[in-house]
Structure formats: structure tokens, C-alpha cells
Amino acid sequence: MRRRLLALLCATGSLVSACGMLPGGHERTTVTVWLMKDSASGEFLRRFTEDFERTHDDLRLDIRIQEWTGIVEKVRAALKAGPGAGPDVIEVGNTQVPLYADGGRLADLTLESMRDWGKEKWLPGLAQPGKDGNKQYGVPWYAASRVVVYRKDLFRQAGIDGPPKTRDEWLTATEKLNSGGNQGIYLAGQDWYTLSGFIWDEGGELAEEKDHEWLGTLDSPAALRGMDFYRRLQALGEGPAAADEEHPPQAGVFAGGKVAQIIAVPGLVQAVLRKNPELTGKIGFFPVPGRTAGRPGAVFTGGSDLVVPQNTDDQFAATTVVGALTGAKWDTELARTMNYVPNKTTLAGAVAGEEGVAAMAAGAAHGRATPTTPQWADVEADNPIKEYMTRVLQGGDPATEARRASRQITEALVPELR
């Protein structure tokens, strides 16, 4: 499907309608939309464009596909451009919204979000990063989150009837699976996104804002409980303490056939099956278990929001496009087409027939995102959470190492402390 996108690209790299004039000679208003490569298929964009322009005969879409590489500086430059000189709508990573909202360069979409778009049903992991105080700048579009990817055949061999529902059940099952030359779970020591979910489940935070300053909080009792659960789970496999899930890529490790579980987005299974087709039909998915059976565990929710630059020369037209793309009709269609989680909890039924996506949707309903401060990018640039995890897994005192990491996070979030 994505290859078809190339056929729709004109010489300028735009996806455009052939019609630029209304009957009677009146020009349409052109709305320029930046979307990221592979977020939506070419076929989806073609159908959306045709439907939108048919139902909004005063507007014309100019959809331009962007590469993720270098996008931060490109968006920043566009936000600083003169009135009407940049795009009218931009797709951004959900955790990037605070970076772009800083300095007042995004339009405030709070009114539309409350009045027209049903923000109370949005996935929290998409909606929260799009806010600054009481103002909504980012409008959730689609989500993806980690689930437990597991070997159904190894579960049966271990006498485990089905996926565990609680964290205690998960530990017990993983202990049974961690035998006979198999790893109960492959969990790299620096998978800090997974750790974040365990911390949130315990009521902790990576960082909190107090008196208008952000402070690292890995040393809170709740955060330490989350790290302790991670330590216990990670010990039931051979994940390296000093590496993350990409070193080596865990798809290759899982494809090796001796691993019962990994924590990953469902789409990773495609890479697993390319490496080991013999696993076809043997892989399943379930939400990361929570502390109780009635609620899946908290997970980091990735995905995209749509924003409207303050320098657009037609905010009404821009918000019309945002409303259409994120509305139930086309958001559901996007989720089905691309195997995403829709932007609202009430739309989860649209993907219930796909096991991996349904597991994502269950977890995303309780999903979270990184702290909503522009400086969080500085934390990730030299991530002290990874070093903290390695030190604890290699025998360091958790409280001591958590205090050290919390200080480093605080220093990154409060530049004057450096």
C-alpha cells in the first residue's frame, strides 16, 4: 500500500487534488498538511482527500510527506516562518508537542477539543503531552504501545493455560517458562520505556513539577517498587544488563526459538517471522499485566498528535482538516488500515478482531507519556535512567542509584542547575 504513495506524489512532493477551482471560477483555499512517512498508506490518503474535498468544496488539500530524520529542526523553522509561509497542519510525535508549544508557536485548540472533538475520551498517553496547563495544543491521531509477545506453544508445554492477568501471575508463569533451555522472558536491562510503566503502575513518576520546577523522582518509594518488579522479571531470562532492546535487536533474539516472551509493539512480529517462518501461528499477544486482574498495566504510549501552527493564515480551515482526520470515521479507518490504536477509548472495538492491536488498545487505555516539558529531550539525549537500571541490575543499591539518577534528571530539566 505504501508504494502507491509514490504514484500520488507530484514533482513538488505533494499529494494534491486535481481540482483547484470551484464552479463559477472561485478558488479553493489550500490547506497544507505535513504528515510523516509511513504514518498512513497512500491509498488511505487518496480516499481521505477525495472524501474531504467532496464534502468541503471550498477547501483543497496539499498533503506533503516528511521524513522523521531531521524533522525537529524542520518543524521549528516552519513555526518561525512568516504568516502563511509554512504548513497549516503538522503531524508530530506525541511527546514532541511540548517542544513545539514552547514559545507560543502553536494554536490553542482547547475550545474545539472540548466542544467538537470529545477530548474526554482521548487516550491519556496522547492527550496529556498535547497540553500545557489548561490549553490543548496537540490533538491525538493514533497510538501504539508495547504488549507482551509470547510463544503459545511454549506456554502450553509449560502447562500454562492462557495469558496471566496480574503481575504476580505473570512472575509465576515466567518462572515456569524459564527452564529446559528456554528463557522465560528476554528483557534487556535498559528498556526504560517498560520500566516507566511499572513505575506508573505503582503510583510513581519519572519526574514531577513542583513550584514551577521539574525534579527527578526515581528515588520515591513508588518508583523504587517499580524498579524492583523490573529486576525480578528481568532475572527470569538472559537479557543483557548493560544494553537496551535494540542491542541486539530483540526481534532476532526472539526468532532464535528459545525465548518465551518479549515486550514489544505487535508489529515487531513481522521481523521475527521473516527471520524464522517456522514460528508462524505460534505467536500471541496479551496486555502487560497490571497489579490487579481488572486493569492492565500502565504502558508508555507512543503515537502522533496533529498541531496547527500559530502562523497559519486560515486557522478555521486548518482545524477543519484536523477534525476530519481525527474524527471517528477516518481515525477508525486509519487504525484498521495501519494496525494502530484509535485515538479514543470508545473506538477500541474497531480493532478488536486483531489480537495484537486489541492488546495494544487495552494497554493504551491506561497509557502514559514522558513528562510534559520541552527539556525532557535533554534527559533522553544522555539518558541517566538507562545507567541507573544497569547499576541496579548489576548489584548496586537501588536507593543510592535512584538518588543519583534523580539528580541527573533534575539537572537536565532545570538548565540553571548545570
pLDDT band at 6 (very low <50, low <70, confident <90, very high): very low
pLDDT band at 236 (very low <50, low <70, confident <90, very high): very high
Q: Looking at the predicted structure, is the pLDDT value of residue 28 above 90? A: no
Q: Looking at the predicted structure, is the pLDDT value of residue 16 above 80? A: no
Cis preceding linkage at 248, omega within 30: yes
pLDDT band at 418 (very low <50, low <70, confident <90, very high): low
pLDDT band at 4 (very low <50, low <70, confident <90, very high): very low
pLDDT of residue 9: 34
Mean pLDDT, range 248-254, rounded to an integer:
96
> What are the pLDDT digits (tens) for 39-85?
999 999 999 999 999 999 999 999 999 999 999 999 999 999 999 89
> What are the pLDDT digits (tens) for 314-352?
999 999 999 999 999 999 999 999 999 999 999 999 998
- Dump the DSSP string for 13-71: SEEE-S--B-TTSPBPEEEEEEEETTSS-HHHHHHHHHHHHHH-TTEEEEEEEE-STTH
**Burial track 276-314 (b if 16+ CB lie within 10 A, e otherwise):** beebeebbbbbbbbbeeeebbbbbbbbbbbbbbbbbbee
Residue 178 is given by DSSP the state S
Contact indicator for 333, 45 with CB cutoff of 8 Å: no
> What are the pLDDT digits (tens) for 269-301?
999 999 999 999 999 999 999 999 999 999 999
pLDDT band at 133 (very low <50, low <70, confident <90, very high): confident
